[in-house]
């Protein structure tokens, strides 16, 4: 497939897409919407990520496996970094799928974060078109993980989509400066919209060989609508307070090796699910992979289950965003969070996974949705 053009009309403007190569159809992978933003009026809305659109866990796991298979067998040690908040489950799922396939044990997984901890920061960098631009990457807490982090031969960077490459380029350059032994970089995503010119610019910036791993590759152009009014732009930048008290367990911010382990059956038993219930499992913000594992376990037990996650990203009702619920965040930052495409769907049970205990008194998501809060 080469140069198949697709035009996407949105409230904020018109996207023109050129599809160069696709393992799966665009319509199966990606939808579109409008941001409440004057910096970047559009958003790629993944249909397989488990963020803005509910997804069957089996489908998410298939995407993790496809990307892990495409990674191949690069030289180790390997550091795989997923970008918060969107790609935390994608990156962690891909890492575990790769470990299962290869039987190797030389991959360290981390994800970036917006939250400050009383831990040494290895890198910080900016995401230019995000509502909350600053990313932090912490040095792994265990000595052997820290040694691994500083000695990687292969760096794998994971995001759900790549459109300009600036954010991941900033991260790759910062990491290479920290670790001159780095031999190659893998830029991994579901949909890659860099196009040939930006792809070549990315390779030139990094200074080491770069491989592009994705399920669809193309280019895009956006023509903004001058009459588009995104409305009031909410503040989604959190506080500078340290969050160690509510983020007591390391689920990936401080580096993990091997496969994640949680007592999922006890969580399921405590929920007292009825037979035949239609279930939605919600991750919260950056905390998506452990709740995804819960959804996967429910699916294995024969439940009718979908998965998605809350977000701090403010979007308009447009395109593939059909409903929105706004509520105070659960990380004690007192900023708005959102869950999309839930209010207009019917579930018998909503199970919400949290890493933050206790919850702020103003965070009433479970009460508003008749949901069941689960603390990992």
How many angstroms from the chain centroid is the CA of residue 295?
A: 16
pLDDT at residue 172 is higher than 70: yes
pLDDT for the residue numbered 250: 98
- Which string of b and e fits 125-156 if b means at least 16 CB within 10 Å? bebeebbbeebbbbbbeeeebbebbbebbbbb
| pLDDT tens string 185-241 | 999 999 999 999 999 999 999 999 999 999 999 999 999 999 999 999 998 888 999
pLDDT band at 129 (very low <50, low <70, confident <90, very high): low
**How many C-beta atoms surround the C-beta of residue 25 within 10 A?**
11
CB distance 78 to 107 below 8 Å: yes
pLDDT band at 127 (very low <50, low <70, confident <90, very high): low
Tell me the backbone φ, ψ of residue 55, rounded to 5 degrees: -135, 145
pLDDT band at 134 (very low <50, low <70, confident <90, very high): confident
pTM of the model: 0.96
pLDDT for the residue numbered 3: 58
**Region 85-90: what's the mean pLDDT?**
98
d(CA 47, CA 61): 13
How does DSSP classify residue 140? Answer: P
Tokens 């905390």: give the residue: 287
Two tokens, residue 136? 């932090």
333: left (phi over 0), alpha (psi -120 to 50) or beta: alpha
pLDDT for the residue numbered 128: 58
| pLDDT tens string 295-350 | 999 999 999 999 999 999 999 999 999 999 999 999 999 999 999 999 889 999 99
**How many C-beta atoms surround the C-beta of residue 73 within 10 A?**
9
CB distance 280 to 349 below 8 Å: yes
CA-nearest of 281, 261, 260 to 271 is 281
Residues forming a β-bridge with 125: 135
Two tokens, residue 102? 């290869």
How many angstroms from the chain centroid is the CA of residue 250?
A: 17
DSSP string, 53-115: S-B-HHHHHHHHHHHHHHH--PPSSEEEEEPTTTTHHHHHHHHHHHHHHH----EEEEE-BSS
- 57-71 and 88-102 helices cross at what angle (nearest 10)? 60
């Amino acid at each position: 497939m080469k140069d198949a053009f697709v035009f996407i009309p949105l409230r904020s403007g018109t996207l023109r897409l050129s599809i160069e190569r696709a393992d799966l159809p665009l319509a199966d992978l990606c939808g579109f919407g409008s941001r409440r933003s004057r910096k970047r009026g559009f958003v790629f809305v993944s249909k397989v990520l488990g963020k803005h659109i509910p997804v069957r866990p089996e489908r998410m796991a298939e995407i993790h496996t496809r990307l892990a298979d495409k990674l191949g067998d690069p030289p180790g040690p390997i550091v795989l970094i997923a970008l918060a908040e969107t790609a935390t489950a994608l990156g962690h799922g891909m890492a575990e799928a790769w470990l299962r396939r290869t039987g190797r044990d030389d991959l360290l997984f981390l994800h970036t974060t917006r939250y400050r901890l009383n831990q040494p920061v290895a890198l910080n960098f900016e995401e230019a078109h995000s509502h909350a631009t600053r990313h932090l990457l912490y040095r792994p807490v265990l000595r052997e993980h820290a040694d691994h982090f500083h000695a990687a031969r292969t760096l794998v960077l994971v995001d759900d989509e790549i459109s300009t490459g600036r954010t991941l380029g900033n991260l790759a350059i910062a990491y290479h400066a920290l670790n001159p032994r780095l031999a190659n970089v893998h830029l991994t995503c579901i949909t890659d919209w860099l196009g040939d010119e930006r792809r070549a610019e990315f390779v030139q910036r990094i200074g080491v060989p770069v491989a592009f791993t994705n399920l669809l590759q193309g280019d895009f152009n956006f023509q903004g609508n001058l009459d588009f009014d995104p409305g009031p732009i909410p503040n989604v930048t959190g506080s500078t307070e340290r969050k160690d008290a509510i983020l007591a367990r390391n689920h990936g911010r401080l580096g993990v090796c091997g496969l994640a382990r949680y007592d999922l059956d006890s969580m399921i038993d405590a929920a007292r699910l009825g037979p035949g219930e239609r279930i939605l499992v919600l991750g919260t913000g950056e905390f998506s992979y452990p709740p995804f594992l819960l959804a996967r376990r429910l699916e294995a037990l024969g439940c009718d289950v979908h998965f998605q996650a809350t977000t701090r990203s403010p979007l308009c009702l447009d395109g593939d965003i059909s409903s929105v619920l706004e509520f105070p965040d659960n990380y004690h930052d007192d900023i708005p969070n959102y869950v999309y495409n839930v209010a207009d769907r019917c579930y018998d049970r909503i199970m919400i996974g949290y890493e933050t205990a206790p919850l702020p008194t103003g965070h009433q998501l479970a009460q508003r949705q008749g949901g069941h809060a689960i603390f990992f």
